[in-house]
Structure formats: structure tokens, C-alpha cells
Structure 1
Amino acid sequence: MTENLKQETVLVTAATGKTGRRVAERLAARGVNVRTGSRKGSVLFDWEDESTWGPALRGADAAYVAYFPDLAAPGAPEAMRALGRVAAESGVRRLVLLSGRGEPDAVVAEEALRESSLDLTVVRASFFAQNFSEGAMYEGVVAGELPFPAGETAEPFIDADDLADVVVAALTEDGHAGRVHELTGPRLLTFGEVAAEIGRASGREVRYVPVSGVEYAEMLQQFGFPGPESEWLSDLFTMLLDGHNASLTDGVRRVLGREPRDFTAFATDAAGVGAWG
């Protein structure tokens, strides 16, 4: 594949987030003119304020779209439809959209963005390994307990660095428009096995605690999440971990020509840089 955006401008939405930060760093390293869009950065982009979208997109040739809180969230299809319209009016030609693997509601939002008729690549990802080192489950690891409504279901955790490499390829190489890249890691792991892997790598005692969806929603409310948001998140996780995603794909290998990074390598490296203290 040939790179074709080195002299062009790419907007990265949610550029301070788990994936946006990695995508922006990789694009900059390739000499791409990167606009790092966020709610508080130099390029203002706020998913809750549509008036910020046009100025951020205007003059950009491509954009990485990472919707917050999740592409399956209520209101996401409407937001994607509006973003597609604004992007087209702003002269954007190419979009790469982060989506969730096995999320029917996210597919509805994907289709809403596809209505823009811009070149669109969809990257559907499984759970991120980095959720345990810089995401919502970090505090559980540090506390020694990981409560989650996953039961004994296995998940093919994807490394966020692998996902960022795929996104950058889709933004800078030909042949990705109109395609859906479904990404997983190379191995299925239960949350209990994840806790054991992190424990071995970090030298900590980490235990997975299976809870029901109702219990998890109650826990989120105790941490300050509003009731409706807590229930939606709990329902989403329970659905995602009902077993329908317990399989592997070759998405990383097809795009990058290499195998995805294993969870053990992630845990070892994260522990090595003091991710868990």
C-alpha cells in the first residue's frame, strides 16, 4: 500500500483518549498534519456541542471518529448522521470510524454515518487490554478485585496499540474505503484468566469477582454514575459478554501483515513501566 496523506490534514477526535492519543502520535510520526480535537485542547471538538464540529473539520482531508461514550449509546445514530453532513460540507473526503464488535446498535450508527457518501472505513474492536491499565478497570486492579458482569465468558482482548496501527493504515493507505475491519487479540481469555495474568506480571494479588448486571449497575451508581447511564452500561456489558463475541478474527493480520499482540505481552510491558504502581 502507498501512503497518500503525508501532506494532508487529519482531524483526530477524542485525541486525549485511549485510542485517539495513540492515533495522533502515530500520524505525527509519519509527518501527517494532525489536528488533535478535544473538549479542552487547542482544537475544540466536543461531541455534546455540534457547533464545534465544523471549525474542527473545516479544511481537514480526513478524520478519525471516536464517539463518546460509545457508538451503541442512545443518540449516536443522530450524532453520526449530523457529523457526516458537517464533514461533507467541510470538504472532508475520508473517515475512519471506531466501532464496537458485536454491537447491533453500533451498526445502526455506522450506517447513519455511511449516509454521508464519504469514503468510510469502520474498525470494530473487541475489549481493549488497556482498560485494565488506563481505563475503567484500573482502580479494580490496584484494589485487588475486578468486579464485572462477565461470568466465565471469554473475550479476545485487543491491544489499543494494534488498533491504532490499523486506524493509521486506514487513514494513510489506499484500499480501505468501504471496508469493515473487525479486530481481536490472538487469544480468548476469561476475566478470571486476565486477573491471573495481571497478577503474575505485576506481583499483585488480583481477583476477578463475577457480579450480576443489576449488581454492577448498583456499583456504578455508588461511584456517582447516574441511574440511567449505569443501567445502560451494565446492559451493554452483559450483552457483549453473553458469548457471541467469544471468537477470533484475522483483522490485524490482514491489515498489518503481522499477528496481534498477546495479552501477556501487554501485561508484562504495563507492569514494567509501573502502570499498577
Structure 2
Amino acid sequence: MTENLKQQTVLVTSGTGKTGRRVVERLASLGVTVRSGSRKGAVKFDWEDESTWGPALRGADAAYVAYYPDLAAPGATEAVRALGRIAVDNGVRRLVLLSGRGEPEAVAAENALRECGAELTVVRGSFFAQNFSEGPMAEGVLAGEVAFPAGDTAEPWVHVDDLADVVVAALTQDGHAGLVHELTGPRLLTFAEVVAEIAKATGREVRYVPVTEPQYAQLLQQYGMSAAEAEWLAALFGTLLDGHNAATTDGVKRVLGREPKDFTEFAREATAAGDWTDHAS
């Protein structure tokens, strides 16, 4: 590691999220000074409170921008445009943005962040394999039934560890500025196929249940999500899973020099980690 890398300071927004906490761990292991931004942590960063952005960014060399809940959400474009302006005003020279694959609204947010003039790398991910081990779908696995409005559409599931490795490379290495890294796993799998992979790895009886967008919105509300957010998210999933993303890319290999992790590997790892046993009877 170079002394220059050791002297870097990086802000990770949403530092306790699926991707953020993995990025924090990897940066820390490299000796980078990391600020893990969150609503309740030592470094306050709240996407709904712009007054927290400047203090969190001040003096940082780079920042990982992971907008919650999604770049396609209403207000996201305006928020990241403002964040870019504040970042540059506080001396940040490099930004890495988490974006969604095949989301036109997310592209608008990407373009808004480019306006700030900092070095920008965009990382577009397909659906996360870890959605099945962290969040509402994990509860579905434990209950033996995963409901989702996907029909029989195939998706190239990306392992979040791969995505985090790419983000860290873009944050700490030169040569990524201006690039868009589109990341997927190595093969296409339908929801029924990935649930079957989980069932095989865990030895549990788990099945996939296709539902409509309104039915899924109702399920999300049962997990405490507001009706408006649930309806928006269900509609977004319906749009993303219409088949236009059913192709793999070589993004992980181009950046990391290795093949991306397969869903089978994820299922084995999550099973070994006990991700689907915490509430088992």
C-alpha cells in the first residue's frame, strides 16, 4: 500500500447498508481513513437532512454515494445534484455513485451528479443476491415462501461482495473517472431457480410464489413500509423485471480481473453464516 492511500479519507454514505458496510470494511482493511455515514452513527449523514451533508464531507478526498431508497425514487436527482455541489465545495475530488441497471430515472440522477465537476465513477448493479439474506425476502425464505412480482423473468444476480470490491477499486485507484461499471453475476436465473438454489443449500422447503405488483405492495406494507413507498417500489420492480435486464456483463472481470461470484456460492456462504437459521424453529 502506498503512503498516499493510507492518507486518504473517504466518506461512505449509507455506511450501514448492504453495500456501504462492506465498502467500509474493505477501506478500513486497506488503511484508509473511513467515515461511515449514517443517521445514528458517529458520522451523521441523513439523506433527508441536507444540513448533515457538509460536515460529513468536509475534508474527505472521496465519497461513496449510495442514495436511499433508490436513485429512481422521486427527489433523488435533486438530492444527488445538491450533494455533488456540497461535496466539491468541501474539497471532495472523487465520487463513486451506486446506480441501478436499466433504470432511466437513475441515469438522470447520474447526469445530475456529473454536473458538480468532481471525478465520477458510476457503478450500476443488477439485483443483489443478498436481497435474499438481508431484508424482507430473507423472512420469506425462513417462512418457506418467497413472494415477488417477477414471473419467470431471469436476472443476472450480482454478489454484493463483488460490487463492494469494484466500488473500493474506483475509490482508491486511478483510471476509473468517467467510467460506468455495469455489474452482474455470471449467469441468468429466474426467481424460481434462485429459490431452488437456496432450498438446496439450506435443506429447507422453500418455494417461489409469483404475485402481482399490487399484491407485493400490500406485503411491503405489512413490513412497515408506507403505502406510497410500497406502491412505488413494487412498480419499480415490475419495470426492472420486464426482461430488458436479462443479460450478463463482464464488468466485474474487467475491473477485478476475476470472474464474478455465482449465486450457488452466495447460497452456500449465507447458509454457512447462519443467515437463514436465526428464526428457524
Tell me the TM-score normalized by structure 1: 0.98
- The corresponding residue for 1:76 is 76
Aligned-partner residue type, residue 28 of structure 1: A
Structure 2 residue 154 is the aligned partner of structure 1 residue 148: no
Deviations 1:182-228 (A, max 9, x none): 00000100000011000000111110000111211122233332221
Aligned to 2:40: 40
Paired with 1:234 and 1:5, the residues of 2 have a C-alpha distance of 41
Q: How does 1:154-169 map to 2 (within 5 A)?
A: 154-169=154-169
Could you list the per-position Cα deviations for residues 67-92 of structure 1 after superposition, in whole angstroms to 9, with x for gaps in the alignment? Answer: 00001100000001100110010000
1:52 paired residue number: 52
2:239 corresponds in structure 1 to: 239
Distance in 2 of aligned mates of 1:120 and 1:127: 22
CA-CA distance at 1:3 after TM superposition:
9.2
Tell me the residue number matched to 1:122: 122
CA distance in structure 1 between the aligned counterparts of 2:266 and 2:143, rounded to whole angstroms: 20
Task: Tell me the secondary structure at the aligned position of residue 22 of structure 2.
Answer: helix
Whole-angstrom distance in 2 between the partners of 1:223 and 1:52:
28
Q: Give the corresponding residue for 1:100.
A: 100
Q: How far 1:4 moved relative to its partner?
A: 5.1
Q: Secondary structure of 2:117's match?
A: coil
What is aligned with 1:221? 221
Answer whether contact 1:4 1:173 (CA < 8 A) is retained: no
**In 2: Cα distance, 1:23 partner to 1:212 partner:** 34
Quick one: distance in 2 between partners of 1:102 and 1:147? 22
- The residue that corresponds to 2:269 in the other structure is 269
| Per-residue deviation, residues 81-133 of structure 1 (Å, max 9, x unmatched) | 10011001000000000000000000001111110010000000001101101
What residue in structure 1 maps to residue 174 of structure 2? 174
Residue 192 of structure 2 is matched in structure 1 by: 192
**Secondary structure of the structure 2 residue equivalent to 1:108:** helix
Paired with 1:132 and 1:5, the residues of 2 have a C-alpha distance of 34
- Contiguous gaps of at least 5 residues in structure 2: none
Q: Is the 8 A contact 1:3 1:174 kept in 2?
A: no
Deviations 1:139-161 (A, max 9, x none): 00000001000000000000000
**SS of 2:6 mapped into structure 1:** coil
Distance in 2 (alpha carbons) for counterparts of 1:42 and 1:228:
31
Q: In the aligned structure 2, how far is the partner of 1:223 from the partner of 1:197?
A: 25
Does residue 183 (structure 1) correspond to residue 183 (structure 2)? The answer is: yes
Alpha-carbon distance in structure 2 between the residues aligned to 1:242 and 1:215 = 17
Stretch moving more, 200-209 or 131-140: 131-140
The answer as to whether partners of 2:136 and 2:223 remain within 8 angstroms in 1 is no
| Displacement of 1:9 | 0.4
Q: Which amino acid aligns with 2:11?
A: L
Give the fraction of aligned pairs with identical amino acids, expressed as a percent: 75
Give the match's secondary structure for 2:47. Answer: coil
SS in 2 for 1:137: helix
Bigger Cα displacement from structure 2, 68-77 vs 127-136: 127-136
* Residue of structure 2 in register with 1:254 after alignment: 254
User: How far apart are the structure 1 equivalents of 2:170 and 2:251?
Assistant: 12
Q: Give the distance between the partners of 2:270 and 2:220, measured in 1 at CA.
A: 26
In the alignment, what sits opposite 1:66? 66
CA contact (8 A) 1:3 1:173 kept: no
* One-letter identity of the residue aligned with 1:121: T
* CA RMSD of superposed structures (Å): 1.3
